[in-house]
Amino acid sequence: MIGAGELMQQKTQPGRLRQKKVVDFHSVKVACRECSLHQLCLPRSITGADLDKLDSIIERKRPLKRNEHLFQVGGSFNSIYVVRSGSLKTYSPTVDGQEQVTGFHLPGELLGLDAIGKGKHPCAAKALETTSVCEVPFEHLEGLSQELPTLQHQLLRLMSKEIFDDQELMLLLGKKTAEARLSAFLLSISLRFKQRGFSSSEFYLSMSRNDIANYLGLAVETVSRMFTRFQEDGLIKAERKHIVIKDREMMQQIAGTNECCDDSPGNQSQFQV
């Protein structure tokens, strides 16, 4: 639960440069302030003593290894989580004993918002690679939001964003062809990397083809074929998990979305602690 010595920014993806910043025991108290994801998440207006208050309710957990669970289905809800480094997938069991992937979570993104209503996690969260998260006890966060209007506002905004994002995905899953789904998926990942300061045209996917297929409601084989086709058509370069976006415009056309407007700062805020 402590292990402050281990708290560092990790090399999330092989081949991508990223500063390793060791957060030692003494600086834990100001971890939020120092976090490289700071500007992604906190309202500008939270500073000084308020930031310290927020900081004080955060718990840092030891990093998860690949395939370790952050929480299980049905587990009681106590906290929301923010990804610091690495990535996770969330998934639900289906009647026939399969699993259905419901989302992927990159640094700066939240997990657990869907559990507030019932007090239980409707899905499980599993690390796709070595991953560290911040834990925000929900009762404390609620209490603090009561004191800090901007924090309440930010929390509501973030939940709203989650609803908005889910609806975007619904659009995708509901209507589109296999190539549109995969294209939109890749563009979505690309955009999220960009918002975190990474390259939007070159990145590593931490999830398997199987997870992608499951998430997009397609067969693995179809996803594989689409990767091949995209490569043949010069849209991307895909070598296993290493992806290069070569013709973004065409991909947007295939995805049927015009992503030009989604770079607005208003879209970037993530809760991070």
Residues that bind its own copies (CB under 8 A): 92, 94-96, 100, 102-103, 113-119, 122-123, 142, 145-146, 149, 152-153, 155-164, 166-167, 169-171, 173-175, 215-217, 256-258, 264, 266-267, 269
Least distance (Å) from DNA to the CB of residue 253?
A: 15
CA-to-CA distance for 184 and 255, rounded, in angstroms? 5
Cβ closest to its own copies, residue 34 vs residue 142: 142
The C-alpha atoms of residue 51 and residue 32 are separated, in whole angstroms, by 8
Which of 133-141, 194-202, 221-229, 253-261 is the region at the interface with DNA (rule: CB under 7 A)? 221-229
- Give Cα 67 distance to the centre of its chain: 16
131 near 64, Cβ under 8 Å? yes
CB of 242 to DNA, least distance (A): 10
Q: List Cα–Cα distances, 151 to 31, 34, 108, 217, 271, in angstroms.
A: 18, 19, 17, 36, 10
Q: Among residues 55 and 233, whose Cβ is nearest to DNA?
A: 233
Return the one option of its own copies, DNA, none that residue 199 interacts with (CB less than 5 to 8 A, by type): none
Residue 256 near DNA by CB under 7 A: no
Q: Pick between residue 155 and residue 205 the one whose CB is nearest to its own copies.
A: 155
Kindly tell me which of 209 and 248 has the beta carbon lying closer to DNA: 209
How far apart (Å, rounded) are the C-alpha atoms in residues 240 and 156?
A: 38
Task: Confirm or reject binding of residue 240 to DNA (CB under 7 A).
Answer: yes
The yes or no reply on residue 130 touching DNA (CB under 7 A) is no
d(CA 182, CA 139): 38
Contact status, residue 89 vs residue 207, Cβ threshold 8 Å? yes
Phi/psi of residue 88, nearest 5 degrees: -135, 160
Question: Smallest Cα–Cα separation from 80: which of 119, 49, 40?
Answer: 119
Q: How far apart are CA 202 and CA 204, in angstroms?
A: 7
Sequence-ordered strand ranges (E) for the chain:
59-60, 69-71, 79-85, 88-93, 99-105, 110-111, 124-127, 132-137, 202-204, 236-239, 242-245
Q: Which stretch binds DNA (CB under 7 A): 157-165, 184-192, 214-222, 259-267?
A: 214-222
Binding mask 15-54 for DNA (x = CB under 7 A): ----------------------------------------
Rule CB under 7 A: is residue 238 a binding residue for DNA?
yes
Largest separation between any pair of C-alpha atoms in the chain: 56
Q: Which residue in the set 88, 169, 172, 218 belongs to the binding site for DNA (CB under 7 A)?
A: 218
CB of 9 to its own copies, least distance (A): 27
Closest CB to its own copies among residues 7, 158: 158
Instruction: Provide the 3-class DSSP secondary structure of residue 89.
Output: strand
**Which residues contribute to the site for DNA (CB under 7 A)?**
66, 177-179, 208-210, 217-225, 227-228, 238, 240-241
